Chain A
Amino acid sequence: MTNTMTMSRLTLVISTLLLFFSVTLSANEANTTNALKLGSYQNIVEQQAGHPLVVVFWSITCASCLKEMATIKEIHQEQPNLPIVMISIDDISEAPLVLATLKDKGLSDLESWVFAESNTQRLRYEIDSTWYGEIPRLYFLDADHNRRGISGKISKADWLELLAG
């Protein structure tokens, strides 16, 4: 029990520190996350009008998503000008863990969002009315913003093929 309490306190301390750093660093580095509400997705896409864009939906508890991040890191290193937006479908209360996970996977400089609506189904529907919620879910948008949605972890070769259009 003492062990459990120590671990709980440790988790609390780590969470507090993560929250502290996420707030203090946000002024200087892109090490912060945003709250995804109804309408946010449309704004994200419009910000990149005329440019290709990749949007990745993921979760801190999704093993396939965490594996996919190694490929995302490679693509990001090779094509640093390609905007890749990471959207976590976890609750906004998990923001510290979302940030810690992105940092751990070397993706903390990517634009990051976390679901912040209690009715996540409505939020998903607004993004894609055919998406059942399976993750990872990737959207490849070309310069004209023609969109292709893919469910599940894909290989680097698949990424390159989809990016080539």
Chain B
Amino acid sequence: MLKYFQKPTPSQFIWLFILAPLLLTACQSTGKTASLNPYHGHGSTALKGIIVTDFAPDGTLWRLFPTNKNIFVEHSTDLGHSFSRSFKVNPEQQKINIWAENPPIIKVSRSGRIHVLYYADENQRATTYFSYSDDQGRTFSTPILVSDEATTAMHYMDQMLVDSTGKVYFFWHDTRHGRHDPKLGSGVVSLYYTTFDSLNGRLENQKITGGICSCCRTATALAPNDKPVILARMVLETGIRDHALIRLLDNNQWSKPIQAITDDWRVDACPEHGPAISIDDQGRSHLVWFTLGEQRQGIFYAHTDDYGQHVSHPPLALGDSSQLPGHPDVLAIGNRVYLTWQQFDGQQTDIVVQHSIDRGHTWSHPKNVLSVSGRSAHPKLLRKNKKAYLIWSTEAKGLQLINITHD
């Protein structure tokens, strides 16, 4: 036996030195694939370390790469190990303005159209622009403003959904009805939406509701009937900032907001900490959110089968409360539900994943899968057919992609 513990030769020692970190990384990963792309061809890092992605139906990974002045789009057919040449979305340089809670978006439709949404400072800060490509990103349409009051009212925190027919929905926070109501507090805005389903159609803006907490990103998902469902932090009449669900009904009218979660967070503040939602093919909405309410503090999971009328209780607390768990995301694929969030131990940010194989009734143990020191985007979950991927964009390590599918 002793021969196995012989002192390594210098060359063996060097190989051990090189391989040890790789082996450690592989052991940390729950999935089969990990890729790392810290480098790119723009001569500068991604603005604030934020790169966003989407899988096309054919499995191609598309990524949007923002710089100070431009938005670039690239694609990868080998799960991010290598990317195509870059294609520029905005023909004229602009002052791109994004932050972790307000990132740009890329979505690929079933037909392969590439949809891009980004923010640039114009008359208003962080004004929303939309563009698309029908030729695999080689050329993009001239970016257009999403808000029809873009020059006079601030609008941001957009979401973009593309349904199975290719119809595009945009949702955003809009200050055009801004006024201070002492009962509600400050930073209360409206939720607006518009749709885009023709080549040159005007984007007619419509109000869904007022009473939206301005600085927390609203979450959206498509229900099995192909219609959008919204999870938003709302400001209730008592000044409490709790979460509500709103959905587009079969008659194409929006439902009244239904308070789905009661945390009793009475605060007049900007939490900058929005929720996430994913709906499985049987219509169960899986919800994750952050609160510092009277009832509970931290990040939580719950689900509802009737869009907020009845919600699983008590909510499942996520993460290590001593490490500021935050910015959760959720993804449902069949009976599988995947969760991710970030934690911070004072030095580095860790990304944790957890999954359920029975539609959110029981859960695996949480597992740390990635970590980095420095600035990062929020972790995101992406679906590629029946597989679940964790994607995380950081300033230090670029884009990291892990298959977290539990078969």
**Which residues of A are at the interface with B, using a C-beta cutoff of 8 A?**
3-4, 7-8, 11, 59, 61-67, 118-122, 125-126, 129-130, 132-136, 151-153
Contact A65 B374 (CB under 8 A): no
- Residue among A7, A136, A152 having the largest count of chain B Cβ atoms under 10 Å: A152
Whole-angstrom distance between the alpha carbons of A61 and B269 in the complex? 11
Smallest beta-carbon distance A89→chain B, Å: 9
Contact assessment for B347 and A64 in the assembled complex, using a CB-CB cutoff below 8 Å? no
Interface of B is mostly: loop
Question: What B residues does A11 contact at CB under 8 A?
Answer: 121
Supposing A61-B215, A62-B187, A64-B187 touch, asked if A133 and B273 sit within 8 A by C-beta, the answer is yes
Q: Which of B186, B273, B347 contacts A122 (CB 8 A)?
A: B347
Known: A121-B349, A132-B290, A134-B267. A63 touches B272 (CB 8 A): no
Is A63 a contact of B375 with CB atoms below 8 Å?
no
The chain A residue sitting closest to B298, CB to CB, is A132
By the criterion CB–CB under 8 Å, are A4 and B267 in contact? Answer: no
**What is the distance, in angstroms, from A33's C-beta to the closest C-beta of chain B?**
19
A134→B269 contact, CB < 8 A: yes
Say which residue of A59, A66, A130 sits within 8 Å of B186 (CB atoms): A66
Q: Which residues of B lie under 8 Å from residue A61 when comparing CB positions?
A: 125, 215, 270
Is B203 an interface position by the 8 A CB rule? no
With A59-B270, A119-B374, A151-B292 known as contacts, the answer to whether A64 contacts B349 (CB < 8 A) is: no
Question: Counting CB contacts under 8 A, is B271 at the interface?
Answer: yes
Q: How many interface residues does B have (CB within 8 Å)?
A: 31
Please determine whether B374 and A136 come into contact, CB atoms closer than 8 angstroms: no
* Closest Cβ–Cβ distance, residue A101 to chain B (whole Å): 13
Q: Roughly how many angstroms separate A59 CA and B272 CA in the complex, as a whole number?
A: 11
Provide the bound-state CA to CA distance between A152 and B185, in Å. Answer: 10
Shortest CB-to-CB span from B379 to chain A, Å, is 14
Distance, CA A11 to CA B97, complexed state (A): 15
Q: Which of B375-396 contact A (CB under 8 A)?
A: 375, 395
Taking a contact as CB atoms under 8 Å apart, the answer to whether A64 and B346 are in contact is no
Q: Which 5 residue pairs spanning A and B have beta carbons closest together?
A: A63-B187, A152-B269, A152-B267, A153-B268, A63-B186
B246-295 contacts to A (CB < 8 Å): 267-273, 290, 292
* Distance in angstroms between the alpha carbons of A117 and B172 in the assembled complex: 29
